[in-house]
Amino acid sequence: MSDRTRQAGAAEPVIELRDVGVYFHLHKRAKVNLRQSLLRRQWRSRPELLWALRHLDLELQEGQVLGIVGPNGAGKSTLCLMLSQILQPDEGEIVVRGKVSQLVSLSTGLNHDLSGRANVRLYAAYLGIPRAEIEEKLEDIIAFSELGEFIDEPMRHYSSGMRARLGFSVASTLDPEILILDEVFSVGDASFRRKSRERLEAMMARCRLIAIVSHSSDFLRSLCTHVLWLEKGRKVQFGEVGPVLDAYDDAMGGPAPDDHLDT
C-alpha cells in the first residue's frame, strides 16, 4: 500500500482527535415510592448517557486511506459524522485541516414529489455544489445514473436503489480534500457498483485523506493503508492495514464476504 501513501508536506496531521467522546441521552421512566408520588409526579424521567465514542485518540496524515471496522454499534457512523464536522465532540477536541465531503446517506435531501431531474438540483444545493457547476454537469450526472426516462418521473415512483443511484451520481461530482465514505459501495447492480468504484477511486486520487467504513475486509485490504478497529465506542487497535485486519478477522471468526463489489 506504500504507493498510495504520499509524503506529508507538513508536520501537522490532517485530522487530530484528542481524548474525544460523544454521547447521547437515553431517557428511562423510573417508578417512585408512594411518599414521593404524593409530593410530585408518580413517574419521572431519568436520563442516562450512552457513549457512542469514548477516550478516542487518533492522528491521520496526508496520503492515508483509513478503513474503519467494528461490529454494529461500535461507533463507526458516529465517527464519520464527527470527522465530517456534522457532530461535535462532547469531550475532548477534534482538529480537521481541510474541506470535508461525506458520502453516507445517499437519499437524504431528496424530495419524493419532485422529478429526478429537479432532485439533482435540489440534492446538489443540499451538498453545497454551486448551481452553475451542477447545470454544467447536469446531463453527465443523468447519464451516469442510468435512470433513462425515469429522470423526469416523480421520485415517489423510484425504488430505493434508484434513489441511491441518483444521489450517488450527484454526490460523486464533489471535489473534496478529505473524503468520508460510510458503506456506499452497495449502490445499484454489479455493473453500476463497478462504475461507482471507478468514480470513487478517481475521487480518492485527488484527496489528501480518505476514511472508509466497510464490513468487507477484502475491499479494505485492496484500498486502505491503515485501519481503525472500534468496539463499543473505544479504539481497540490502529495501525497498518494488514496486522489490524488480521487481528480483527481472527476476533470476528474470519473475514466477512465481499458482498459490496463484483470484481
With cell 437524504, the residue in question is 108
- May I ask the CATH class of domain 1-12+63-91+176-263? alpha beta
Q: How many CB atoms lie within 10 A of CB 201?
A: 10
Beta sheet of 43-60, edge-to-edge order: 43-60, 15-31, 91-96
**Lowest model confidence (mean pLDDT) among 27-41, 59-73, 103-117, 202-216:** 27-41
Q: What is the pLDDT of residues 73-103, one digit of tens each?
A: 999 989 998 998 888 999 999 999 988 877 6
Q: What is the pLDDT of residues 4-30, one digit of tens each?
A: 444 444 469 999 999 999 999 876 655
**Lowest model confidence (mean pLDDT) among 4-13, 40-49, 186-195, 246-255:** 4-13
Q: Residue 35: pLDDT band by 50, 70, 90 thresholds?
A: low
Average pLDDT over residues 115-140: 91
Q: What is the pLDDT of residues 41-76, one digit of tens each?
A: 545 556 688 899 999 999 999 999 999 999 999 999
Q: What is the reported pLDDT for 20? A: 97
SS (H, E, C) the chain: CHHHCCCCCCCCCCEEEEEEEEEEEEEEEEECCHHHHHHCCCEEEEEEEEEEEEEEEEEECCCCEEEEECCCCCCHHHHHHHHCCCCCCCEEEEEECCCEEEECCCCCCCCCCCEHHHHHHHHHHHHCCCHHHHHHHHHHHHHHHCCHHHHHCEHHHCCHHHHHHHHHHHHCCCCCCEEEEECCCCCCCHHHHHHHHHHHHHHHHHCCEEEEECCCHHHHHHHCCEEEEEECCEEEEEEEHHHHHHHHHHHHCCCCCCCCCCC
Q: What is the reported pLDDT for 263? A: 28
Q: What is the reported pLDDT for 168? A: 85
**C-beta of residue 239 within 8 angstroms of C-beta of residue 227:** yes
Cell output for 98: 481541510
Separation of first and last alpha carbons in the chain: 19
Distance between CA atoms of 145 and 150, rounded to whole angstroms? 10
**C-beta of residue 96 within 8 angstroms of C-beta of residue 241:** no
Q: At 36, phi and psi to the nearest 5?
A: -65, -35
The amino acid occupying position 13 is P
